[in-house]
Amino acid sequence: MDSDDGMLDAHDLESGEDDFYSGGTDDYNDSDADEPDYGFVEEDVDDSAMVASHRSQINYVVLKEEDIRRHQQDDIGRVAMVLSISEVEASILLLHYHWSVSKVHDEWFADEERVRRTVGILEGPVIPTPDGRELTCGICFESFRPEEIVSVACGHPFCPTCWTGYISTTINDGPGCLMLKCPDPSCPAAVGQDMFEKLASKEDKEKYYRYFLRSYIEDNRKMKWCPAPGCEHAIDFAAGTGSYDVSCLCSHSFCWNCTEEAHRPVDCDTVAQWILKNSAESENMNWILANSKPCPKCKRPIEKNHGCMHMTCTPPCKYEFCWLCLNAWTDHGERTGGFYACNRYEAAKQEGLYDEAEKRREMAKNSLERYTHYYERWASNQTSRQKAMVDLQIMRSEKLEKLSDIHRTPESQLKFITDALLQIIECRRVLKWTYAYGYYLPDHDKRQFFEYLQGEAESGLERLHKCVEKELSVFEIAEGPSDDFNHFRTKLTGLTSITKTYFENLVKALENGLADVDSQAASSKSTNSKPSKSKGGGGKGKGSSKNGGSSS
Amino acid sequence: MQASRARLFKEYKEVQREKVADPDIQLVCDDTNIFKWTALIKGPSETPYEGGVFQLAFAVPEPYPLQPPQVRFLTKIFHPNVHFKTGEICLDILKNAWSPAWTLQSVCRAIIALMAHPEPDSPLNCDSGNLLRSGDVRGFNSMARMYTRLAAMPKKG
Ligand SMILES: [Zn+2]
Ligand SMILES: [Zn+2]
Ligand SMILES: [Zn+2]
Ligand SMILES: [Zn+2]
């Protein structure tokens, strides 16, 4: 109702309300600047910490219903105490000022009179006090003895039956009941929680308290419900820090700002644009979502039931190809100049790959073809991510125990496997959104650098995903412990760590708007044996000078 | 049902008593149904409705007075907040700003006030609203006066 909607005032951020946040507001870049490029993940880091370790400080808290209730009650209690008013009045104030304790304090101490008038907390009756004679209820117009009459602070007389009817009607009209005023049309007096408690039916009261609880989240600028279906947790978010990504206890990750699924490092506008584009193109794209393609060699349909893009046709063909470019997997190195380049739209186009596919020939428009390229990769990573999530779940519920028995290894020492899967899940998410980013990236110089980083990250991820999906299966059916399993551990742990570094570089570069071409290229040197193959080198100078050569 | 009937009966008795007190409003309860009322209101002076008498129809819902009565003009009127064909009225107190302390009599008073002070920003009659919004008060007044003469005044001769 008030005019300050939409303005995030500084008080909200600076108040002492956020003492339950775990950390400060360290810059993201500082937090991991001195991490080595290689180096193995420490065994005792827990799951979520490992995936989140490359994020900025945790700047939010997940609240369960009982936490919400407690926080709400704490805020009410604090306002009541500081302002020396009743908790009922404190609730009225907080409802009016969208649950901002600091805002309530500021307004109240600036001009208590005005605040009282605006929110309807009167200091005394506005009509003459009854002199013992019968009073007329303002709704049913019947006469009552003064002790039968019920009033809020203003003193306007109504009978209990009419109050109950009035309160019940407003509760059933919706959450507006939280801001209820005296039935007298010109009276500003607020009707507080005590009246609902005293006069509403049990059923109505339940509805009222539901609205009251919901208001604490829905009318509060620093709170939001988790958008996952069926989840009843809320997120308390401290604005002003870097990332908008939050992760609920239900495991759903979403963007605080736009409530779409988490999409860091891509910004909300790009995501909104991309999602709109997808729904506009959804009919054209349906066929792409189909999970099978003909083997490029034998033409038999191959179903993609793994997360990694390295496909192997069934025997006797056994042709190994790339799901994305449909070329032989071994071609990747030579054809593309020594590195994985299936992420590159221009390369694929020049190779003439798009002319071969029948479906694509039908697509006359270049723009649709371009969109198709990005959409397919976006969607494939989404599918791969979901697959990895299922794998993780199965790993935790059954496979770990088996592996532990076979290899005589405590489950705690098999954490490198779940760590790898968690890393894959996170990387697929990032990679997926980089395709939306790439679709809207106009600058050609930046594009080269972007595609280089994306390609490196993607090839690392493919190696990791393949290792965990294919090489692990051997050990699941092994007879007993072997040295090979220890080698596998070393390999997988290493791949996990390297992939993590690639993605950190990618995320950092994208969050810098690809401004920092020089330092990024330098830092990727150590993770990549031949820096000279970076075609992005041509764009380096321009990219950095344009942005004043800032560095991290 | 009983509560609303009792309340309407009280209003009925009040109206009988106040008839002389408010000469601009004449509220009449239906002969057979206490939930149906009509009212004759006088167009406020110094408005294009001056000299006209307008008939309103009230349909009172069962939860009255917890819910507002439905009111519409039976007499044609050219007014931005009244639907020209149906007579439906756009007035906040008949919707979300209703209070059970209002009466049929006070609703009539609110409607007279609306006739004197149109709200062109929430128009039910766009032609009329547009005239006022574009600042053409003379154009609006002459249209409104014409309809008052046509529909709300006793025919001469
Ligand atoms: Zn009463
Ligand atoms: Zn009052
Ligand atoms: Zn959740
Ligand atoms: Zn977002």
* DSSP character string of A469-485: IIIHHHHHS-SS--HHH
A157 and B CB contact within 8 Å: no
**CATH code of residue B75:** 3.10.110.10
Residue A93 lies in a domain: yes
What is the count of structural domains for chain A?
5
**A427 labelled catalytic:** no
Q: Which two tokens stand for residue A379?
A: 């969607």
Tally of structural domains, chain B? 1
**Cα angle: A344, vertex A376, A454; to 5 degrees:** 35
Identity at A104, one-letter amino acid code: V
The CA distance from A504 to A461, in Å, is 12
Residue A413 forms part of a structural domain = yes
Q: Are residues A48 and A79 in the same domain?
A: no
* Predicted pLDDT of residue A55: 46
Q: Are residues A403 and A492 in the same domain?
A: yes
Between chain A and chain B, how many beta carbons pairs sit less than 8 Å apart? 38
Is residue A273 situated within a structural domain? Answer: no
Q: List the CATH number of the domain containing A150.
A: 3.30.40.10
Indicate which ligand has the atom closest to the C-alpha of A231: 3
Contact A141 B10 (CB under 8 A): yes
Cα of B8 to nearest chain A Cα, Å:
9
- Distance between B59 CA and the closest CA of chain A, angstroms: 18
Q: Which domain holds residue B77?
A: 1-156
The structure's pTM equals 0.67
- Per the CB < 8 A criterion, the answer to whether A429 and A436 are in contact is no
CATH number of the CATH domain containing A458? 1.20.120.1750
Mind telling me how many Å the CA of A165 is from chain B's nearest CA?
7
Question: Count of CB atoms within 10 A of residue A534's CB?
Answer: 20
In angstroms, the CA A51 to CA A428 distance is 12
User: Which pLDDT belongs to residue A12?
Assistant: 42
Residue ranges in chain B whose pLDDT is less than 70: 1, 19-20, 155-157
Catalytic residue among A308, A322, A325, A342: A308
Distance of CA A245 from the midpoint of ligand 3 (Å): 13
| A289 assigned to some structural domain | no
Is the residue at A535 inside a domain?
no
Measured in Å, residue A137 CA sits from the centre of ligand 1 at 5
CA A379/CA A404 separation, integer angstroms: 35
Does residue A87 fall inside a structural domain? yes
> How many Cβ atoms sit within 10 Å of the Cβ of residue A352?
8
A-chain residue closest to B10, CA distance: A141
User: Count of H helices and E strands in chain A?
Assistant: 23, 11
Q: Which of B7, B93, B99 sits opposite A140 (nearest CB)?
A: B7
Domain check: are A256 and A178 in the same one? no
Vertex A274, ends A240 and A219: CA angle to 5°?
40
A480 is a domain residue: yes
| Domain membership flag for residue A401 | yes
The reply to whether A492 and A380 lie within a common domain is yes
ipTM for the assembly: 0.86
Residue A216 to residue A210: CA distance in whole angstroms: 10
Question: Could you tell me which residues are beta bridge partners of residue B27?
Answer: B39
Render each residue's pLDDT in chain A as its tens digit; 552 residues.
444 444 444 344 444 444 333 343 443 334 343 434 343 433 343 444 334 334 446 789 999 999 999 999 999 999 999 999 999 999 999 999 999 999 999 999 999 999 999 999 998 888 887 777 889 999 999 999 999 999 999 999 999 999 999 999 999 989 999 999 999 998 999 999 999 999 999 999 999 999 999 999 999 988 999 999 999 999 999 876 667 889 999 988 999 889 999 998 899 999 998 998 888 777 665 555 555 666 777 766 676 666 667 777 776 777 887 777 777 777 765 555 444 566 666 666 565 555 555 444 444 445 677 888 899 899 999 999 999 999 999 999 999 999 999 988 898 999 999 999 999 999 999 999 999 999 988 777 788 889 989 999 999 999 999 999 889 988 888 888 888 899 999 999 999 999 999 999 999 998 888 876 554 444 444 444 333 333 333 333 333 333 333 333
At residue A290, the pLDDT reads 54
Same domain flag for A159 and A78: no
Q: How far apart are CA B141 and CA A284, in angstroms?
A: 58
Contacting residues of A for B93, CB less than 8 Å apart: 185
Q: Residues with Cβ within 5 Å of ion ligand 2?
A: A 154, 156, 182, 184, 187, 189
The answer to whether residue A165 neighbours chain B at the CB level (below 8 Å) is yes
Amino acid identity of residue A109, one-letter, is F
Q: Which two tokens stand for residue A182?
A: 């005296």
Candidates A57, A56, A58, A51; CA nearest to A500 is A51
Would you state the pLDDT for residue A344?
Answer: 66
* Rounded distance between C-alpha atoms, residue A218 and residue A212, angstroms: 10
CB atoms < 10 A from the CB of B2, how many?
6
**Contacts for A53 with CB less than 8 Å, ≥ 6 apart:** A32, A45
Q: Do A149 and A21 fall into the same domain? A: no
Domain identity same for A110 and A190: no
Q: Check whether residue A110 and residue A224 sit in a common domain.
A: no
| Amino acid (one-letter) located at A465 | H
Task: State both tokens at A498.
Answer: 């390297």
Q: Domain containing A85: what range?
A: 70-121
